[in-house]
Chain A
Amino acid sequence: MKITELFERGEFVVSAEVGPPKGIHIEHTLEEAKTYLSGITAVNVTDNQSSVMRLGSLAVCKKLLDEGLTPIYQLTCRDRNRIALQSDLLSAAMLGIENILCLTGDHTKMGDHPQAKPVFDLDSVSLLHTVTKLEAGEDLGGNPLVGEPPKFAKGAVVSPCSDSVDAQLAKMERKVAAGADYFQTQAVFEPEKFIKFMEKAKQFGKPVQVGIIIPKSAGMAKFMNNNVAGIHVPDEMIEELKADKEKTKAGITGVEIAARIIKECKPYCQGVHIMALGWESKVPELLKKAGI
């Protein structure tokens, strides 16, 4: 199922994501996805997230599909040139994967193989452009595909709380022009910034899922503030997390904060994308608290 069909029906689309392990045993990942994420619309599978080498996104997408879940295949341009990316897109379509998310990808320097050659033959925009061409029956080199061309729900990302939000909006517009069908955002901790962003972004007429990270602790929030682009956790939220010291309550505050952010953003967007970062087990509770 393409998630664009749900947007078209006016549904509030919920997705979450799983990161493949660094190894070949995915029983735990699948079990978690089945237990905690089977109630939601779709599950993103990250592509060597943060430039850390892991099991492949495509293979895990296929496993999720076999388990009855709807995977969103994330593709970055960091590790593959245009030939490999197109080939993998055809493979995905053949395997029955209908949802993709096109990203430029983190730089190799950010990960666990900083010596690796960063590829970036294409970028998020030219990758979307390439998929659009494939869908029309032609590859990027202008050569015809044999038989029925693939069809995808083409996702892209945008960073609504970035300190250069105008440049982000300009890029978003280019992604729409290149064929993006829907957007997922970087994690939002400042709903007012997101709402302002949506006022400008709604002109593009594409559904946007607000990105949510459950803040696990004050330490994690501070770490993100210092190290993660496009994310800023306000001081009062950090104070709130600090107050959550009792072990029995650990995590509850984070879930409450995330639920609050979803509630505040929900009237302005078309869905939510949850990056649980290992806290998949808290997703059902989060959605319940957010009233979804």
Chain B
Amino acid sequence: MLITELKSKEIIASLAEGKVFMINCHGCKEVRFPEKEALELQKELQAEGKLTGVITTDYICNPDNMKLRLEKYQEQIAEADVVLVLSCGVGVQTIAEYLEDKKVCAACDTYPVPGFQGVTPLEYKCDQCGECYLNLTGGICPITACSKSLVNGQCGGSKNGMCEVDGDMECGWERIYRRLAQLGRLDVLKCPTQVRNFATDDEVAK
């Protein structure tokens, strides 16, 4: 099982700048989605006149299915400044990859619960680490795409764009840098130093 939990109101407010397109993933059977909170957020955005459209579906990590839906909502997405994705990290990465010129933000953190971990395509991974970094990395996960799970940038171990730890793997931070450059958002790299939080206990983690 996994739990997707909406990020704090302050963080959501900082992400939802300008017009917003919302994507809700009610997930695979294994996920607990914050339906009530998502609906509240949707209403708030609507009341503020910021919402350009909403997709609510399941399995947004299924690229074929998602591609068709995103095409259907092309105009509303084009109108939005940011696409806010309410899903686990895999869902956000799928959307970010597909809408590679768009600011795609993760509105949720993903926590693991013992049991089956859901159905995900192999290209994307979510470690369910509880503090989603995808908003600082252009939608490419530094925890799973970097051998050392670095959250403050590239180490010196990239050779010809590949990771020296695993020759078959492209350097995750090189991908992140490229994506941020493409989005015109390299300023994100100037964010404060990130220190990971490994506390798994709910109370300690906060």
The interface of chain A, by Cβ under 8 A from chain B, is 82, 104, 106-107, 109-110, 118, 120-126, 128-130, 140, 157-159, 162-164, 166-168, 170-171, 173-174, 177-178, 186, 228-230
Contacts and interface: CB of A to CB of B under 8 A. Distances in A.
A248 to B, nearest CB: 35
A129 B152 CA distance: 11
Interface residues of B, number: 31
Contact of B193 (A106, A109, A126, A230): A126
17 contacts: A104-B150, A106-B157, A110-B164, A123-B148, A125-B194, A126-B151, A163-B159, A164-B158, A167-B177, A170-B186, A170-B189, A171-B152, A171-B153, A173-B190, A177-B192, A228-B159, A230-B156
A168 B190 contact: no
Interface string B151-195: 111111111110011000001011001000100001001101111
A259 to B, nearest CB: 25
A193 to B, nearest CB: 15
Contacts of B171: 164
The 3 closest A-B pairs by CB, nearest first: A125-B152, A171-B153, A129-B193
A229 B157 contact: yes
A126 B157 contact: no
B152 A124 contact: yes
A113 to B, nearest CB: 14
Q: Which of A106, A125, A140, A164 gathers most chain B CB within 10 Å? A: A164
Contacts of B161: 163-164
Contacts of A122: 195-196
A262 B18 CA distance: 52
A166 B174 CA distance: 9
Contacts of B177: 164, 166-167, 170
Contacts of B152: 123-126, 171, 174, 178
Q: Which of A121, A157, A166 gathers most chain B CB within 10 Å? A: A166
B152 to A, nearest CB: 4
B155 A104 contact: yes
Contact of A162 (B158, B189, B196): B158
Contacts of A162: 156, 158
Contacts of B150: 104, 120, 123
A123 B155 CA distance: 9
Given A125-B153, A177-B190, 14 more contacts: A104-B155, A107-B147, A110-B164, A118-B148, A120-B149, A121-B196, A124-B155, A125-B193, A129-B195, A164-B177, A167-B154, A168-B154, A168-B156, A174-B193
A228 B194 CA distance: 28
